[in-house]
């Protein structure tokens, strides 16, 4: 097993996010339940590598990455969406949209870097509790439960975060 690096995390994320169903599920949870896509992707990567993430660490990661996202990534995403709604009135919209998207991707990479910097070294190096019974421990299920507990929604998205496990190789 290789250590989790920023590059390996980013490449894993790009590969998994290419799947339209994965992308749709992550965006739905992001928009409806305030999930952080990068943390969900990290949970999926840890599942794939059979590394358990303790609940306390998951909640700390969610808080840390949400603080960054709320301050930087989400406002930029909202601006990009606002421009999209007014695209006909904006001269040079395609170039502006691309630059905003590029900046948003840089913030997404920053979120991944933040997550990895907060992840205990033992987990990045895969020396931490390797899951012996993968069916019993699921980082995506843990994150999903945390989000549901924090949510005030009366109905949850039809697709579950745990559904992403079927797309892990």
Cβ density class 90-103: b for 16+ within 10 Å, e for less = eeeeeeeeeebeeb
The rounded percent of the chain whose pLDDT value lies above 90 is 75
Angle (CA) 147-82-17 rounded to 5° is: 45
pLDDT (mean) for 109-135: 70
What is the structure's pLDDT at 131?
A: 44
Lowest mean pLDDT among 13-27, 101-115, 118-132: 118-132
Q: 121 is written with which tokens?
A: 């070294």
Phi and psi at residue 133, to the nearest 5°: -125, 85
pLDDT band of residue 83 (cuts 50, 70, 90) is confident
Can you give the pTM of this predicted structure? 0.89
Asked if residues 6 and 112 have their Cβ atoms less than 8 Å apart, the reply is yes
Asked if residues 140 and 47 have their Cβ atoms less than 8 Å apart, the reply is yes
User: Which has the closest alpha carbon to 37: 74, 5, 8?
Assistant: 74
CA quadruple 153, 41, 74, 5: dihedral, nearest 10: 150
């Amino acid at each position: 097993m290789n250590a989790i690096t920023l590059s390996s995390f980013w490449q894993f994320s790009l590969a998994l996010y290419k799947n339209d169903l994965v992308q749709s599920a992550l965006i739905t949870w992001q928009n409806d339940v305030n999930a952080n896509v990068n943390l969900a992707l990290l949970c999926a990567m840890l599942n794939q590598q059979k590394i358990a993430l303790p609940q306390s660490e998951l909640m700390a990661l969610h808080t840390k990455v949400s603080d960054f996202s709320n301050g930087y990534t989400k406002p930029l995403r909202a601006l990009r969406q606002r421009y999209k709604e007014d695209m006909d009135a904006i001269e040079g919209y395609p170039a502006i949209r691309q630059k905003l998207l590029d900046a948003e991707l840089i913030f997404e990479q920053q979120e991944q870097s933040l997550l990895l910097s907060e992840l205990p070294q033992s987990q990045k190096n895969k020396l931490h509790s390797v899951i012996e019974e993968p069916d019993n421990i699921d980082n995506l299920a843990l994150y999903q439960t945390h989000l549901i507990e924090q949510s005030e929604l009366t109905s949850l998205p039809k697709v579950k975060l745990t559904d992403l496990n079927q797309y892990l190789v």
